[in-house]
Amino acid sequence: MSRTVIEKRAAFRALHAKGCFVIPNPWDVGSARMLQHLGFPALASTSAGFAWTKGHADNHVTRDDVLHHLAQLSNGVDVPINADFENGFATSPEDVSTNVRLAIETGVAGLSIEDAEGGVLYERGHAVERIRAARKAIDHASEDVILVARTERLLYEPTAVTAAIDTLVALAEAGADCLFAPGVTRPEDIAAMVRAVAPKPLNVVMFRPGLGVAALTDLGVRRISVGGAIARVAWAAAIATAEEILGGSFEGLGKGQTSKQLNEMFA
């Protein structure tokens, strides 16, 4: 029996209240169903992974394309979906509020808002006002949707850990339920972020090999995502196989799942 939107949102909030969980990132309904089949309790969309399925670079899809994608994901699986909602597809707090309301209507259980646009960080005060607007939109809708606030600072300034922490604290005070700073990798920095935003949960994204789930859990991390990493691995396998075919060999075709296995998983 499929779970209702209300049930999925309640389950998602409960996940944030205990221990640490991994929330991998599908790029379409098929990959979402695959990850659900494997047993993950929640999933998060990936702006990059979805953009690649559309033949675009990351951050080059429209708001309406993403809203349609989120509705497909939410309706396609029984586990909660967290939306990678980029910068809210807006600059002003008022427009962020409008777009957050539209995202809520897709059935997502959570959504993340970034503090940058076109490779440029918003001034911290403006970023805070945008999160306040998102919080008010969720509260006004009376929906139990997790608001994730993320700062992109470490992607542009890898050593600016203190500034990133200060931003996370400000975003938490503005109403974010979960905090996120892509690019943090050192255990001591992760632990400092966990302490700074406590008791609210910190999400860490693993773009590449590094600390394992047990180590991140010991540091106090409550949520682990992987962004577009699984999509990148899938694309790499497809590209490698296609290059073998260009070279005259079909040996790579023997590495895939059988049609029977995939059909049984999706049945």
Assign residue 29 the CATH number of its domain.
3.20.20.60
170 assigned to some structural domain: yes
pLDDT by residue, tens only, the chain of 267 residues: 478 999 999 999 999 998 999 999 999 999 999 999 999 999 999 999 999 999 999 989 999 999 999 999 999 999 999 999 999 999 999 999 999 999 999 999 999 999 999 999 999 999 999 999 999 999 999 999 999 999 999 999 999 999 999 999 999 999 999 999 999 999 999 999 999 999 999 999 999 999 999 999 999 999 999 999 999 999 999 999 999 999 999 999 998 889 999 999 988
* Relative orientation angle of helices 124-141 and 161-173, to the nearest 10 degrees: 30
Is residue 160 included in any domain, yes or no?
yes
In a domain? residue 36: yes
Structure tokens at 96: 């962020």
DSSP state of 46: -
Q: How far apart are CA 57 and CA 50, in angstroms?
A: 9
Q: Is residue 241 part of a domain?
A: no
Structure tokens at 265: 């998983």
Q: Is residue 237 part of a domain?
A: no
Count structural domains, the chain: 1
In a domain? residue 254 = no
Beta pairing partners, 149: 113, 179
In a domain, 262, yes or no: no
The one-letter amino acid at 83: A
Task: Identify whether 63 is part of a domain.
Answer: yes
Rg (CA), the chain: 19
Q: Which domain does 170 fall in, by range? A: 5-228
Q: Phi and psi for 18 in degrees, rounded to 5?
A: -145, 140
Give the whole-angstrom CA distance, residue 4 versus residue 17.
20
Report the pLDDT value the prediction gives residue 1, as an integer from 0 to 100.
45
At 42, list the tokens.
């929640």
- Calpha distance 197→219 (Å, rounded): 13
